[in-house]
Amino acid sequence: MRWGVVLPAVLVVASCDEPNVHILTAQLYDPAGACVGQSDGVDVVQGPSTGDACNPSCLTITSGSTTSVYVTTVCPPFPQDYTVEGEDAAAEAGDPCPGAFAALAVYDDSGVICAPTVDEAGDEAGEAGDDGGGDAGNDAAGDAPATE
């Protein structure tokens, strides 16, 4: 299933049909590449937009055995499905957020993002995917690189 194409379309439709929701945008962190991807819609949030000029937050969400790590400057509140960590949070061993914040800083300084994977490159070339539904937060976790 190609969520890279379907998920953004679902998020846009959901936000247009319901005036009291907004799209949570964030950048997926790839710990293997120590980089972030482009900013994408990752979830639909109840309530009006809270702005996107806040201090960075690290959002993690787990679906099955896959954990996705995102960084965003969108202002809280965030959906309850996510674990939220600020830059000043104490990092435990194995915490992916310090690396995510470092990758965001590199992006902010240079504009460098992760190179698309073979699967993402196919999606960007216009490859159509399934139009399945589901909860956006859980779907996002299924498409992300796994962290350990």
Label residue 92 by pLDDT band (50, 70, 90): confident
Asked whether residue 72 is assigned to any structural domain, the reply reads yes
Mean residue pLDDT across the chain: 79
Label residue 6 by pLDDT band (50, 70, 90): very low
Asked whether residue 146 is assigned to any structural domain, the reply reads no
**pLDDT the model gives residue 89:** 85
**pLDDT the model gives residue 129:** 42
Give me the domain span that covers residue 64: 3-140
Return the higher-pLDDT residue of 90 and 132. 90
Q: Which residues pair with 60 in a beta bridge?
A: 69, 83
**pLDDT the model gives residue 1:** 42
| Model confidence at 71: pLDDT above 90 | yes
Asked whether residue 148 is assigned to any structural domain, the reply reads no
Asked whether residue 22 is assigned to any structural domain, the reply reads yes
Asked whether residue 49 is assigned to any structural domain, the reply reads yes
Asked whether residue 118 is assigned to any structural domain, the reply reads yes
Tally of structural domains, the chain: 1
Asked whether residue 147 is assigned to any structural domain, the reply reads no
* 98 contacts 91 by C-beta, under 8 angstroms: yes
As a whole number, mean pLDDT of residues 122-133 equals: 45
The whole-angstrom separation of Cα 2 and Cα 19 is 27
Asked whether residue 10 is assigned to any structural domain, the reply reads yes
DSSP-derived 3-state class of residue 54: coil
* 100 contacts 29 by C-beta, under 8 angstroms: yes
